[in-house]
Structure formats: C-alpha cells, structure tokens
Structure 1
C-alpha cells in the first residue's frame, strides 16, 4: 500500500504521509501478530468440563477391583492410568500420554468415574477475532486435567506392583500357607463366638465362618499388597 500511494497519488506530501501511515500500520500489525503467536496477545484461557465417564477395573480377580498406572519417563512426575470403559470390555483404555495432562486420583464411596477439564485458547473479544483470525491460535490446546474418582475399595497399583501381586497370589507355596492360616483364623473366630454364645445354631456358626473367611482374605491380601508396595 505504501508503494501504491507513492506511485499513484500525485500529491507527494499526501502520498508520503499515507506511505508513513501504511508502513507504521504494517509494522504495528506485525508486532501484535508476533505477540499473538508468542505471548497469545488477544487471547484468553477457556476451560471446559467434559461429560462424566464411568470407569471399570482392569481386573477383578480374588474379589479385588484394580486400576493400574504407569509412570511417564524416569522422573515419575506424570502417570498414565489404565482402566476399562465397560464391565465386558476386552481391551483396556488409558489416560492421555502427555506431559500437559495432569491426573488427580480422588477416593470415593460411590462409582468410579473420570471427569476431564480441557483448557484452550480463545479470542478475548470480537476485535481480537478480526485482527488475529488468520493466525490459527484460537482453539489451540493448552492443558488437560483428569479427575479420576476411584472407589475406596478398589486397588490402585503400579504396573510393577500389579505384576508382583499376580505372581505372589498364584504361587503354590503362598496359597498353601494362606490356606493353613485361614483355617486357623476361622476356627479361632468360630470358637470365640461359641464361647460367647454356647447355644449358637449351626446356621449362625456358618455365618460366623463365612464372615471370618472374608475378613481373613481381606487382611491377608492387604498385607501382601503393603509388602509389595514397600518393595516397588
């Protein structure tokens, strides 16, 4: 435009003034375009919350519902969480593998689910939309936060811990030891209950036995998990 005003406007003073204005305008535009690219001038952060998604455990063996996580990199600053999207899903799903994704685990007494918040750049106003429409900055992704609500009765283990737990639970030596300890624990609980109530019926004894078996299994597994977590 400065060149055109110089060539086609007869009045040299006017053409010179217009040329200066055009050059100054082009320079100013360039400066703000660079600021838009570099400093996101004319843009603002907009965060949207996605729909709540129910999640299911990777495995539910031995009555244990488990969600697994794996660290990204060696610093272990970021983790990827692995889960299933349905009870019958054959394949697992995981959170985004990205350093700009933050995963926050929250224990809950309700259903396990994920809520994702995504932050992107957006124009501050209509003027910014007009001036910077061609830069392609609008709608660009900035960061993401996954709030992972996991039922308090579920296990949250690293991939290494889950592997170690599976190996330990499938060990014949461990199973034999567990069986012996379980028998002694249940017998002691039933004996204590009958001492307290000598007239206890067979049905009530069976209930105590069932409850004691469940209690022992829960305590035994919790002990193994604690040992594994201390090592891994």
Structure 2
C-alpha cells in the first residue's frame, strides 16, 4: 500500500503543478508532495529500522537424549570453532536418531545449565513482526514480517550428564574401555565394603533391603568413577 501512495502522490503532485490554476489546486499539490515525502521516509524507516514492527520471541522446548552412542554415558557434545570461544552443540531428540542435530552459527547463543531434573533444549527465537494490521497493510509488500533476529539455545542437563567436545568424548570412550576391568574390580570391592558396614550397622536388614543398598552403592561408585574419567578426558 505504501508504494501505491508514493506513486499516486508523485503523479498527483506532478499533474497539479502542471495544470494548477487555482489556490486549492496548489494547496493540494503541496499536500500530495508532503504525502510523498512522508511515505518515502516511512518506507525507508521500515526497511532500515523496522519502523512499525516489534520483536517477538517464540519458545520451543524439546526433550534430549544422550548425544553419544554409548549406553554407559549420557553426553551433550559440542564442536569448538576457531579459537574455541564459539561452539556448535550436537544433540539428539530421539534415541533412534542416527546423526545428531547441530546448532546454527548465525546470531545464535548457546547456554548450558546443569542440575536439571531432565535433559531438554529450550530454543528462544526472536523475529520481527508488525505491531498492528495497519502497519502490515502499509508495509506488507516489503515481505519482512517474520525476519529472523537471533536465537538462544538453552541446554538444561542433569548433573549426571557430561558436556564434552567430540574429541574429549572419543578419549572418554577409550579410557572407559581401557579401565573396564579395573573399574569392575574396584566397584565390587567398593560395594562389598559398603555392604559390610551397612550390615554391621543394621544386622536385621532383609534381602530386599540389601538389594536396594547394593543398587545404591553401585550407582554411587559408577557416578564417582564416571566423574574421574570425565575429568581425565578433559585434560
């Protein structure tokens, strides 16, 4: 619509200036000239500064599964870019997914938060939209509604997850394979020692209670061993 106003105001201004013989015709030509200038300025302001528009943020939350292929580790992977200050995160939203998806690099900010109850990705995308139907009617021909501004990806993962680079994840898998036998032996010894202490503290513990304690101590050892492997993989 704004282009139509510009064209009509130019034509009207030109015609009235050529054929104007009366005062009202001259006045009308000045009004049309003002309409032309205002319309042109408004169009340029829309194209350059998004006049008549506002930023709208849409949010989408998706559950995550481990980015790695191992059943022993829950991982969120990233690939460093350049000097390492920028990272592309690799993530999976489905256990049957062959290859992980990756975050973009065009005006994208990635944030990782730990301590979550479950792993999930919240993507907040900002786009330009028109403030009202009037602005949309005037400037819709510019086809800039929904223009991308920026995106913030917030990865929320439990403390049991490790956030590693692709190279660190490969090192972790290698370390886990090398130390598998040692970890098994140490794990059995750890659980046995803990169970002996628990039985001394409560000799009346029944079978189900003992099994629950074994599961608890096994999980505790695995978490501790995992943390040590992760720290070594990061070196």
Q: TM-score range by the shorter chain?
A: 0.7 to 0.9
The whole-number CA distance in structure 1 between the counterparts of 2:37 and 2:213 is 85
Counterpart for residue 165 of structure 1: 172
Q: How far is the alpha carbon of 1:74 from its aligned partner?
A: 2.6
Equivalent pairs, count = 224
Cα RMSD over matched residues?
A: 3.2
Counterpart for residue 224 of structure 1: 229
Query: Scaled by the length of structure 2, what TM-score is found?
Result: 0.76
The whole-number CA distance in structure 2 between the counterparts of 1:149 and 1:216 is 24
Query: Which of these residues, 131, 140, 143, is aligned with residue 124 of structure 1?
Result: 131
- The answer to whether the 8 A contact 1:6-1:12 is kept is no
Counterpart for residue 75 of structure 2: 66
Query: Which of these residues, 5, 17, 30, is aligned with residue 6 of structure 1?
Result: 17
Closer, same or farther in 2 for the Cα pair 1:209/1:114, shift >3 Å?
closer
C-alpha distance after superposition, 1:134-162 (max 9, x if no partner):
22222211122233232332222222221
Unaligned runs of 5+ in 1: none
Closer, same or farther in 2 for the Cα pair 1:30/1:109, shift >3 Å?
closer
Query: Scaled by the length of structure 1, what TM-score is found?
Result: 0.77
Structure 1 residue 19 and structure 2 residue 29: aligned? Answer: yes
Structure 1 residue 143 and structure 2 residue 150: aligned? Answer: yes
The whole-number CA distance in structure 2 between the counterparts of 1:194 and 1:54 is 41
Counterpart for residue 81 of structure 1: 89
Q: How far is the alpha carbon of 1:16 from its aligned partner?
A: 4.1
Closer, same or farther in 2 for the Cα pair 1:179/1:138, shift >3 Å?
closer
Unaligned runs of 5+ in 2: 1-10
